C-alpha cells in the first residue's frame, strides 16, 4: 500500500510539473501574440507535447486562461494577507502592500499583461467568479485603510476609502506597461517611491486637512 501511495504521489508531482510548464509556455505565447491569435497547437509545440497529450492537462484555451487568472489572484491575496499580518501598524501594512504590488507587477509584466488585457475573453460566469476573488484583495486593502483612518481622526480623505484604494491599485498595477528593467530603479526602489507618494495624503504627519509640523 505504501508503494502504491508513493507511485501515486510521484505521478501527481509529475503531472503538476507538466501543468506548470504548459502554463509558463501559455503565458509567453499569449503575452507575445495575444490570447485570441494563439492556438492549442502552438502551445503544444511550445512545451514539446502532442496536442492529445496537452488536452490531458487542459481541456481548452479558456481553461488555461482561467488558471492563469486564478493563480495570480490566489497568490496576490495570499501575499497581501501575509504582508498585512506582518506589518506593525495598518499604515505600514498599506505601504508594504503597495511596495509588494509594484515589485510583483514589475517582475511579472508578461503575466500581468495577460490579466489586464485579456479579461474580455472570459465568459460572463467565469469573469464574475474571478471578480469576486479580486474584490477580496481590494476589500483587504480597504479594511486596512479604514483601520488606519480610524486611528487618526485628524486625517481627512477627499474621496471614499474605496475610491482611494482603486486609485492606488490603478497606479501600481499600471507599472507593467511602462517599467523597464534597464531603468535607474529596482522594482523595490520604485515601489517605495510610489507608495510614499500615494500615501502622502494619509501619513499621520501630513494628512489632508492636518497642520504640517513647524
Nearest to 202 by CA among 139, 140, 141, 158: 158
pTM above 0.85, yes or no: no
* CA 146 to centroid of chain Cα atoms: 22
Nearest to 30 by CA among 20, 18, 42: 42
> Which pLDDT belongs to residue 126?
74
Residue spans per domain, the chain: 1-59, 61-208
The answer to whether the CB of 68 falls within 8 A of the CB of 23 is yes
> Which pLDDT belongs to residue 15?
84
Dihedral sign from CA coordinates of 112, 113, 114, 120: positive
Nearest to 90 by CA among 149, 39, 132: 149
The answer to whether the CB of 83 falls within 8 A of the CB of 100 is yes
State how far the Cα of 71 lies from the Cα of 101, in Å rounded to an integer.
Answer: 15
CATH 1.10.357.10 for domain 61-208: yes
> Which pLDDT belongs to residue 114?
92
State how far the Cα of 123 lies from the Cα of 115, in Å rounded to an integer.
Answer: 14
> Which pLDDT belongs to residue 9?
47
> Which pLDDT belongs to residue 97?
96
> Which pLDDT belongs to residue 128?
80
The structural architecture, per CATH, of the domain 1-59 is: Orthogonal Bundle (1.10)
> Which pLDDT belongs to residue 11?
55
State how far the Cα of 136 lies from the Cα of 85, in Å rounded to an integer.
Answer: 15
* CA 126 to centroid of chain Cα atoms: 17
Mean pLDDT by 10 residues, the chain (214 residues): 46 82 93 92 93 91 91 92 96 97 94 88 79 89 97 92 96 94 95 97 64 32
Amino acid at each position: 500500500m505504501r508503494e502504491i501511495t508513493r507511485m501515486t504521489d510521484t505521478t501527481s508531482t509529475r503531472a503538476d510539473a507538466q501543468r506548470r510548464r504548459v502554463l509558463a509556455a501559455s503565458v509567453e505565447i499569449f503575452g507575445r501574440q495575444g490570447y485570441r491569435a494563439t492556438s492549442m497547437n502552438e502551445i503544444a509545440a511550445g512545451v514539446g507535447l502532442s496536442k492529445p497529450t496537452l488536452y490531458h492537462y487542459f481541456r481548452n484555451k479558456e481553461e488555461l486562461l482561467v488558471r492563469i487568472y486564478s493563480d495570480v489572484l490566489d497568490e496576490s491575496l495570499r501575499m497581501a494577507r501575509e504582508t498585512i499580518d506582518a506589518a506593525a501598524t495598518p499604515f505600514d501594512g498599506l505601504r508594504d502592500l503597495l511596495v509588494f504590488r509594484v515589485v510583483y507587477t514589475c517582475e511579472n509584466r508578461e503575466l500581468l499583461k495577460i490579466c489586464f488585457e485579456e479579461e474580455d475573453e472570459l465568459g460572463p460566469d467565469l469573469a464574475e467568479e474571478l471578480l469576486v476573488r479580486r474584490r477580496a484583495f481590494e476589500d483587504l486593502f480597504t479594511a486596512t485603510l479604514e483601520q488606519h483612518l480610524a486611528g487618526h481622526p485628524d486625517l481627512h480623505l477627499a474621496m471614499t476609502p474605496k475610491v482611494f484604494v482603486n486609485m492606488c491599485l490603478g497606479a501600481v498595477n499600471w507599472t507593467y506597461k511602462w517599467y523597464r528593467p534597464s531603468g535607474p530603479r529596482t522594482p523595490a526602489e520604485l515601489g517605495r517611491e510610489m507608495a510614499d507618494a500615494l500615501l502622502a495624503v494619509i501619513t499621520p504627519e501630513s494628512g489632508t486637512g492636518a497642520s504640517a509640523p513647524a
